[in-house]
Amino acid sequence: MKLATWNVNSIKVRLPQLLDWLAAAQPDVVCLQELKSADAGFPLAALADAGYACAVNGQKTYNGVAILARSPLAEIAMDLPGFADEQKRVIAAGVQGLRVVCVYCPNGQAVGSEKYEYKLRWFAGLREYLRVELTKHPRLVVAGDFNVAPEDRDVHDPKAWEGQVHVSDPERAAWRELLALGLQDSFRLFEQPEKIFSWWDYRMLGFRRNAGLRIDHILLSPPLAQGCTASTIDKAPRKLERPSDHAPAVVELRVG
DNA sequence: ATGGCTACGATCCGTAGA
């Protein structure tokens, strides 16, 4: 099974690129973030024509997440239970014997800001949610835009980014608390080339200079990590005209 | 020089992303 996550930065603008990418990459399951669309504006029909069922937790202008799958989606759940939040950042579903949680973690804006404090509270809520999910679903995938670069090797210029939002110690500690639940960063299950990133700033020729961060991740519970045969980032869509600023992260899983 | 793009929803600029 091929499972992917992609922050598309507007489903409306990116739909043609998404359809092309689905046809080329042939993923079985795709987690999408930053739809920037209400449920009513989500292109269900176009994706059905492409062979995908969809579970959507949409929001106008900001946020919004969805799971696409070539097999039926079951037990769809929205948001973090017990964490009051207007922002649509989480959707989960059962698919092909897996539990898939799609997340769009807060950006945090700047260390010390109100949004940064919200980000840290949100991660605590996510951790508690995933702790419970793992007890119910041993075969768990958590995929999405985490807005955290876990280590300095996930940052193009660690010196320039030192202490900044996305790399600060409290954010990285929140990330490590997710791993402490027993989840594994699929990307680091394998030997990887240096300077592989999933996001590049639109400004300053970020992509051309490979001035990026690895902030889009696919976490796997132990039984799934054991059956993971590849974890990569597909830079191809980032090279197109009018791209998302994020590239898809992709895993190959052996599933029973 | 703390900016530089891009998307959105409001106008002809502000908010947000990362």
Quick: pLDDT tens for A188-198: 999 999 999 99
Report CA(A215)–C1'(B17) in Å, whole number.
13
Which residues fall within 8 angstroms of residue A83, CB to CB, at 6 or more apart? A121, A122, A125, A129
Which residues fall within 8 angstroms of residue A226, CB to CB, at 6 or more apart? none
**Coil/strand/helix, residue A113:** coil
| Average pLDDT score over residue span A105-117 | 96
pLDDT digits (tens, 9 = 90+) for A187-237: 999 999 999 999 999 999 999 999 999 999 999 999 999 999 999 999 999
Distance of CA A38 to the CA centre of its chain: 19
Nucleotide nearest to A38 (CA to C1'): B8
- Alpha-carbon distance of A234 to A127, in angstroms, equals 28
Report CA(A204)–C1'(B2) in Å, whole number.
13
The crossing angle, in degrees rounded to 10, of helices A114-136 and A169-180 is 10
Provide the mean pLDDT of chain A: 97
Please, which positions of strand B sit below 7 A from a protein CB?
Answer: 3-9, 16-18
Question: Any idea which residues of A carry the catalytic annotation?
Answer: 104, 145
